[in-house]
Amino acid sequence: MNKIGSAKSGPAEKIADDKPDGRHLHVLMRERSTAHQAVYRIDLSSGQSQMITSGLFKLRPVGAGRDHRQLYAIYEDIATPPDLYRYEQGLARRSRVSMIEPRVDAIRLGSAEVIETRVPAHDGKSQNVRTGLLLPHGAKRGDEFGN
């Protein structure tokens, strides 16, 4: 993961602080090279940062509780349709607040991996590209499929 604010990371977005003490700030970042989204906690006095979570998901903050100890955000990933969740302090626990489409809960979806390969470009030279690979339910990286 790159340093916060580096040219390889996406723009930072402030999200609700887990303690409204004025000493910490949480930011939401997207790593352009991997498409992973990450949440960092930054100590404003020292500048030290700590990654709270990272992965192939979308987290779109929509608000905070009155005391800023809870974050309300729309969460989605390859196996989770977008819904509103309430996050407790430090994003350690989440609880689902809405259920946009209840029928989707019964569908078992797989996971996603981002792989990098070299392919020929239009000019004949090779270039690196990233591809999203959707795995079937229960499959993991390294499994073989087909004949």
Q: Give the pLDDT mean for 124-136.
A: 86
Tell me how far apart the alpha carbons of residues 86 and 16 are, in angstroms, rounded to a whole number. Answer: 12
Three-state DSSP at 134 gives: strand
Angle among Cα 134, 85, 12 to the nearest 5 degrees reads 75
Residue 147: per-residue pLDDT: 58
Residue with tokens 């990286």: 141
> pLDDT per residue over 51-84, tens digit each?
888 888 899 989 888 877 788 999 988 878 889 9
Assess whether pLDDT exceeds 70 at residue 18. no
Residue showing tokens 């930011």: 27
Which one has a higher pLDDT value, 32 or 14?
Answer: 32
- d(Cα 20, Cα 60) in Å, to the nearest integer? 20
List pLDDT tens digits, range 26-48. 888 988 777 789 888 889 999 99
